[in-house]
Amino acid sequence: MAPGQRLRFTGAIAGVGSTSGVRLVVGRWLESPLGEFADVMVEDGAGHRTLLAPNEAVARFVTGTYAFDEVCLTPVSVTVTDAGWDVRAGDHVAAYLGLGRRMPLGWLLRGVPPRVATSTTWAALVDPVARVALRGVRTRGVAVEGRREWYGATDRHAVTSLTGSWRGSALGDLAAVDPPCRFGFSSTPTRPGVTSVVTTVEVLGD
């Protein structure tokens, strides 16, 4: 990848907490330089951070952007319906996220023209607001290896229920994403939800 190259990932991110203390951040990427893929970032109650990636190319890119204590290569799938997300990651994660209505923030995001909402300029402009309004959330920042990153959100729906397991142990019921996840400069919002997003990552060159 050429120095200064900007790569765009179009898809959605689900962020949920659980009463067991495990927090999940699930990425479902429909268009990206790595093709269509899904990945799962997990932080347990003790703060151990695990990346579940479907192949070495995804793992290499994600670990060059976010920080983890453990990386596992395993098949990852996300089946999406109007009712929810069915997330599977080998023997590690089996979870179902029930979806609710579009959130008020989602309605606000939909009012911004997509070309504006997904631009790095807009992400920079709204970052000060996001920091105040959404605990732990940033829309721009510097990631691992000095990569710059911007999040352009275009919609948001509530997650209303959670069932499943993490490495054979029950996740428990749905809970807030609290404390915020520590994979990078930004966490998902505290309230569980699914955010449609275009993520732009500027790489320094590999």
- pLDDT for 106: 93
More confident residue, 35 or 2: 35
Q: What is the mean pLDDT of residues 170-198?
A: 95
Rounded to an integer, the average pLDDT of 171-176 is 98
Residue 98 has pLDDT above 90, yes or no: yes
Bridge-based pairing of strands 70-73 and 49-53 is: parallel
pLDDT for the residue 133: 78
- The answer to whether residues 37 and 45 touch, using CB atoms and an 8 Å cutoff, is no
Report the distance separating Cα 54 and Cα 26, nearest Å. Answer: 13
Looking at the predicted structure, is the pLDDT value of residue 2 above 70?
Answer: no
* Residue 145: per-residue pLDDT: 77
Look at residue 19 and tell me whether its pLDDT is greater than 90: yes
CA atoms of 194 and 101, how far apart (whole Å)? 11
pTM score over 0.85: yes
- Specify whether the CB–CB gap between 76 and 37 falls below 8 A: yes
How sure is the predictor about 3, in pLDDT bands with cuts at 50, 70 and 90?
A: low
pLDDT of 94 strictly over 90: yes
Q: Which two tokens stand for residue 123?
A: 């992400």
Per residue in 23-58, pLDDT (tens digit) is: 999 999 999 999 999 999 999 999 999 999 999 999
State the sign of the Cα–Cα–Cα–Cα dihedral 118, 33, 63, 175: positive
